[in-house]
Chain A
Amino acid sequence: MNSKVVTIVFIGLCLLLLLSVGGSFWDGSFDLLLHNSENWKFPKTLFIFWIGMSQAGVLLSAFLLVMKVKIHRRTSLLLELCSLCSYVVAIALSLLYSNSIKLNSDIYNIGIVGFISLLFFVTHLVAADSAEDVSLCKNLAKIRRPLACFILPTVFWVVSEFALDFAQFENSLWQGAFFPLYVVACVFYMGLASTIALLSFENYYNRLIERFILLCSWFMSLLFLWLMLIKDSGSIIAFIFACVVPQLLLFEAVRESLWGRLIVVLCIFFGVLLKCDFVLYLDDFHLVSNVSLANVSLMFAGGVFFVFFFFGVRILLSRFFENDEILMGEESDSSDGEIPDAEERKYYAPFSAPEFKVVRLPVLCGVLAAVTYGYFTSDWVHLAGPFGAYVGCLLVCLQPFAHVWLSRKGKGGRK
């Protein structure tokens, strides 16, 4: 990790935060920051943004793992950590400005995804720690893909459900089948953008992700335009920032320059933030026309909190594990719990793949738990699915410990 750059960014953000807070005295908006006012709606925009970020990292990490796209352990760990830190920022925002951010039952779904993400991250960390029990690490590495198989549909479902409920209760213009699909695509896009930003601090550059983001920006452009066509309204400024600016990555000078990449990523985030504001107020210029230094302060406060928490945990984990490279580095192509190529090409008969053997009992128990929950609460749409996934993930995570315990007991018995 490039500590110098991290320090400079952190100090820069702190200075900007101080300046904006100081400025908020000057423009008279300081009261908004201190008082939990119902009239100040900007915290809600930021909350939606950070909730999106909280799903983005883990969604991308699980997606790449399920699709067997090889990425370094560092990249997936950073993505998972980014998700967890975004959760913390979103929770802090919702606690501080509870009058502005009204939470509904979706928060339980998001909480379940947060817990599963934490399990996914911890499993990844412990599996990478060579100081731990070797057999436990191997067993934990084996459950990463099965866990990803649980996480991916759960995140898809929770984000879709969040979007459907938002359309139903907040803004009826977005009611329809397309909006959830569009929100999931935006979350995925944010995940790709955050990867490029986070890897920049590691002095590392992933060309595959950069290609993905460029290709994804074409599809995002289409989705933006389709939404404008079917709803007769859309944010053109958000489109320019989130979809047009990333086309600069087609130029080698921008692609190869660290600052070029960072500027593109910042533009994407700003575009998504504008879009979050637009889905709330349906005004292209709402964020710009209602800008106050209190808004700017809150935006920088979120950024500072995220950077502090993210790099704090990152540094803490580096110290905790003796060898930094084992935790966040790339040992070899097969270090990410990947199955070697020869084994990957091996043909498995239906329902006989190693992953299936790990997930069959947890899936069964998860389905039973979901059905039981749905039967007793009559809530089949909101929480039944995530609750089943929660039970399934817990059982998957318990398996390695059960294996190790049983093998030790067997050895003890023989002695």
Chain B
Amino acid sequence: MSMFANAVACLLCLIFAAFIWKIKGLYRITLVMFLIVLSNCLYTAFAGNIAFPVLEVYPFRMLALTLCVFTTGLRENRRRFMVLAQTFWLWVELLGCLSLYQTGEETPWLRLAAIAGIAFGCMFMARISKEIEFGLIVLWMAVWMFF
């Protein structure tokens, strides 16, 4: 996927996260999440070549980034859900890396290490201030765009 399409995907994730912040109720949130995954799948299908193995999990990577950004807006158990969202991202990336490794293609281990590092760092955070929230979002975007 091109750099521009990747950036648009990142922007979409931020928009989706902002949208989830405003929704309440199990059914509504799930419906919105369903629509988000659907949009992610459609975006990936139109913006990239889905025959390329890396893009198989692209919609779920987008979902993981959305969830990570969404957790910064939580009022309770923020650290726990932040770490869980990043673990989900890490798991999706790890599967991608392993499958690429098995097929003998180039594997983005650095991205994996970066996400693991940020998730581990989040475990040490006590009270997460607005500035740290912003910093984290910037870090996730940097990982998404540059690694």
Q: Of the candidates B92, B102, B125, which one forms a contact with A350 in the assembled complex, judged by CB atoms under 8 Å apart?
A: B125
Chain B residues, CB < 8 A from A153: 87
CA distance A381 to B94 in the complex (A): 11
Among A35-43, A127-135, A218-226, the stretch in contact with B: A218-226
Check A351/B124 contact, CB under 8 A, given A215-B27, A222-B38.
yes
Chain A residues, CB < 8 A from B124: 350-351
A350 and B34 form a contact (CB under 8 A):
no
CA distance A176 to B31 in the complex (A): 28
Main secondary structure of the interface of A (DSSP, over half): helix
A176 and B126 form a contact (CB under 8 A):
no
Q: Of the candidates A156, A211, A219, A350, which one forms a contact with B91 in the assembled complex, judged by CB atoms under 8 Å apart?
A: A156
B98 and A229 form a contact (CB under 8 A):
no
What is the 8 Å Cβ interface bit string for chain B, positions 83-109, against chain A (1 contact, 0 not)?
Answer: 000010001100110111011000000
Chain A residues, CB < 8 A from B37: 219, 222
Q: How many residues of B contact A (CB 8 A)?
A: 34
Among A44-52, A177-185, A293-301, A324-332, the stretch in contact with B: A177-185
What is the 8 Å Cβ interface bit string for chain B, positions 70-85, against chain A (1 contact, 0 not)?
Answer: 0000001001000000
Q: For window 162-205 of chain A, which residues contact chain B by CB distance below 8 Å? A: 164, 167-168, 175-181
Among B13-21, B56-64, B110-118, B130-138, the stretch in contact with A: B56-64
B34 and A164 form a contact (CB under 8 A):
no
Chain B residues, CB < 8 A from A180: 95, 99
Q: Of the candidates B34, B51, B123, which one forms a contact with A219 in the assembled complex, judged by CB atoms under 8 Å apart?
A: B34
CA distance A178 to B92 in the complex (A): 8
- Min Cβ gap A311→B in Å is 33
Interface membership of B54, Cβ < 8 A: yes
B126 and A350 form a contact (CB under 8 A):
yes
Chain B residues, CB < 8 A from A211: 26-27
A215 and B30 form a contact (CB under 8 A):
yes
Check A350/B79 contact, CB under 8 A, given A177-B100, A215-B27.
yes
| Most chain A CB neighbours (cut-off 10 Å) among B27, B38, B99 | B99
Check A176/B123 contact, CB under 8 A, given A222-B34, A222-B41, A229-B45.
no
Check A177/B34 contact, CB under 8 A, given A226-B41, A226-B59, A350-B124.
no
Q: How many residues of A contact B (CB 8 A)?
A: 27
CA distance A343 to B27 in the complex (A): 28
- Min Cβ gap B138→A in Å is 21
CA distance A177 to B53 in the complex (A): 7
Interface membership of A230, Cβ < 8 A: yes
B125 and A218 form a contact (CB under 8 A):
no
- Min Cβ gap A199→B in Å is 20
Interface membership of B143, Cβ < 8 A: no
Q: Of the candidates A176, A181, A226, A349, which one forms a contact with B53 in the assembled complex, judged by CB atoms under 8 Å apart?
A: A176
Chain A residues, CB < 8 A from B79: 350
Q: For window 315-374 of chain A, which residues contact chain B by CB distance below 8 Å? A: 345, 349-351
Chain A residues, CB < 8 A from B59: 226
B98 and A381 form a contact (CB under 8 A):
yes
CA distance A222 to B96 in the complex (A): 19
- With both beta carbons as reference points, the residue of chain A lying nearest to B77 in the complex is identified as A68
Chain B residues, CB < 8 A from A218: 30-31, 34
Chain B residues, CB < 8 A from A109: none
A230 and B102 form a contact (CB under 8 A):
no
Chain A residues, CB < 8 A from B87: 153
Interface membership of B50, Cβ < 8 A: yes
- With both beta carbons as reference points, the residue of chain B lying nearest to A153 in the complex is identified as B87
- Min Cβ gap A361→B in Å is 17
Interface membership of A160, Cβ < 8 A: yes
CA distance A230 to B52 in the complex (A): 9
- Min Cβ gap B95→A in Å is 5
Check A230/B50 contact, CB under 8 A, given A175-B102, A178-B56, A215-B30.
yes
- With both beta carbons as reference points, the residue of chain A lying nearest to B61 in the complex is identified as A177
CA distance A345 to B80 in the complex (A): 13
Shortest Cβ-Cβ A-B pairs, 8 listed = A177-B96, A178-B56, A177-B57, A215-B30, A177-B99, A176-B56, A218-B34, A177-B95
Which B residues contact A (CB, under 8 angstroms)?
A: 26-27, 30-31, 33-34, 37-38, 41, 45, 50-51, 53-54, 56-57, 59-60, 76, 79, 87, 91-92, 95-96, 98-100, 102-103, 123-126
5 contacts between A and B (CB under 8 A): A167-B99, A177-B53, A215-B26, A218-B34, A222-B37
Q: Beyond the given A175-B53, A211-B27, A230-B50, could you list 11 further A-B residue pairs with CB under 8 A, ordered by the A residue number?
A: A164-B99, A176-B56, A177-B56, A177-B92, A181-B95, A215-B26, A215-B27, A222-B34, A226-B59, A229-B41, A351-B124
